[in-house]
């Protein structure tokens, strides 16, 4: 009977740690941010069916822009914490803003968030681990959660 209590007690003590994903203890396996970079940590709330959700990571800068569409150059990389298997994301150097360079009806300018271009960075939703992102210090990291519709449609056969 004592042999049974010890594993159950160990399991009970480990459960609260999983619920607090962004604690300093949970971040220990992840590397420190390199010079010129910041580490961003997103703690996601538990969902009933996490497979029906994705997280979009959005990086960019607030810049003064005109009426043209703007985007920044940059490359995302998914990396793994060696020995742990935990994934994290790193944004390489962010290039200068690119624009459509079309003529604007007026010369007004405004402050706007300009995102890093390319394909959206959609990642798996997992509330049990922190979502860790490394980006240059002058880059802001935002995110949004995508959810699948509850109903599905049948594709017609042809």
CATH classification (class only), 2-147: mainly beta
d(CA 91, CA 72) in angstroms, rounded, equals: 12
Terminal CA-CA length for the chain = 63
* SS3 label, residue 46: coil
Q: Give the tens place of pLDDT for each residue, 61-117.
A: 999 888 888 899 999 999 999 999 999 999 998 988 888 878 788 878 889 999 998
CB 131 within 8 A of CB 58: no
Antiparallel, parallel or unpaired: β 131-136 and 87-91: parallel
Percent of all residues in the chain with a pLDDT value above 70, rounded to a whole number: 86
**How many angstroms from the chain centroid is the CA of residue 94?**
16
Q: What is the mean pLDDT of the chain?
A: 85
Q: Give the tens place of pLDDT for each residue, 103-134.
A: 788 878 889 999 998 778 999 999 999 999 99
Structural domain boundaries of the chain?
2-147
What's the confidence (pLDDT) of residue 7?
A: 38
What's the confidence (pLDDT) of residue 17?
A: 34
What's the confidence (pLDDT) of residue 4?
A: 42
Global pTM reads 0.78
Average pLDDT estimate for 40-61? 95
CA proximity to 130, closest of 20, 22, 11: 22
**Could you write out the three-class secondary structure of 47-114?**
CCCHHHEEEEEEEEEEEEECCCCEEECCCEEEEECCCCCCEEEEECCCCCEEECCCCCCCCCCEEEEE
* SS3 label, residue 42: strand
At 150, the pLDDT band (50, 70, 90 cuts) reads confident
Tell me the CB-side half-sphere exposure of residue 139, using CA atoms within 13 A.
29
Per-position b or e across 134-157, b if 16+ CB within 10 A of its CB: bbbeebebebeeeeeeeeeeeeee
């Amino acid at each position: 009977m004592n042999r049974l209590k010890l594993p159950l007690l160990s399991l009970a003590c480990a459960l609260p740690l999983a619920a607090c994903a962004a604690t300093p203890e949970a971040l220990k396996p992840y590397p420190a941010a390199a010079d010129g970079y910041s580490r961003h940590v997103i703690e996601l709330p538990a969902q009933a069916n996490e497979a029906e959700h994705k997280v979009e990571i959005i990086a960019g800068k607030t810049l003064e822009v005109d009426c043209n569409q703007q985007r920044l150059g940059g490359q995302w990389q998914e990396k793994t914490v060696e020995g742990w298997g935990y994934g994290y994301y790193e944004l390489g150097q962010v290039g200068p803003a690119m624009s459509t360079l079309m003529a604007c009806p007026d010369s007004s300018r405004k402050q706007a968030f300009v995102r890093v271009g390319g394909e959206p960075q959609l990642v798996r939703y997992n509330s049990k681990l922190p979502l860790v992102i490394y980006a240059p210090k002058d880059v802001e990291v935002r995110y949004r959660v995508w959810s699948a519709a509850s109903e599905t449609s049948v594709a017609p056969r042809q």
